[in-house]
């Protein structure tokens, strides 16, 4: 019989030092700041055994939440560089484009549907959409789904 997993939300300042150091080491590995577990544990001052003991049971809070995915549709004028400006804006705001579909431009306008992972977005989804519509060439933009 499989044991049920329980999860708790705990403030980081009350965690034991070895768990906090494990979190730091995992961040270094995930970001590419270090290449090996040895490098990570040496930098944070943690034993390898403690790292391996805790590493599979510690997750950032946002990793435990479901992904925030928003699907947006918008019309874009058919001019060179306009789509690039939209994609740059999404990246600058911390969004990650998961899918993008574009119709063939008719009468100088292409319709675009884009799914964006919003988990790391630096602005609210409302502000994101309003600012998206201010990008040159973007016509009406609207949210058609969230997941």
Q: Residue 117 — φ and ψ, nearest 5°? A: -75, 115
> What is the separation of C-alpha 27 from the centre of its chain, rounded to a whole number of angstroms?
15
User: How far apart, in Å, are the Cα atoms of 98 and each of 43, 63, 102, 122, 144?
Assistant: 34, 17, 14, 17, 15
User: How far apart, in Å, are the Cα atoms of 31 and each of 24, 67, 89?
Assistant: 11, 19, 22
Residues 83-116: tens digit of each pLDDT: 999 999 999 999 999 999 999 999 999 999 999 9
Task: Give the whole-angstrom CA distance, residue 94 versus residue 88.
Answer: 10
- Domain definitions of the chain by residue range: 10-62, 67-144
User: How high is the pLDDT of residue 99?
Assistant: 94
Choose the CATH number for 67-144 among 3.40.50.150, 3.30.70.260, 3.40.228.10, 3.10.110.10.
Answer: 3.30.70.260
Least Cα distance to 70 among 50, 94, 48 occurs for: 94
Residues 74-90: tens digit of each pLDDT: 999 999 999 999 999 99
């Amino acid at each position: 019989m499989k044991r049920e997993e329980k999860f708790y939300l705990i403030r980081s300042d009350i965690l034991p030092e070895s768990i906090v150091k494990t979190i730091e080491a995992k961040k270094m590995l995930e970001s590419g700041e270090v290449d090996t577990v040895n490098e990570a544990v040496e930098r944070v001052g943690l034993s390898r055994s403690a790292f391996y003991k805790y590493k599979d049971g510690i997750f950032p809070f946002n990793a435990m939440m479901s992904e925030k995915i928003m699907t947006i549709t918008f019309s874009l004028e058919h001019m060179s560089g306009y789509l690039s400006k939209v994609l740059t804006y999404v990246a600058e705001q911390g969004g990650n484009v998961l899918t993008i579909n574009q119709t063939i431009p008719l009468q100088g306008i292409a319709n675009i549907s884009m799914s964006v992972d919003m988990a790391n977005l630096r602005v609210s989804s409302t502000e994101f959409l309003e600012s998206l519509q201010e990008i040159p060439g973007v016509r009406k933009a609207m949210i058609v789904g969230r997941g």
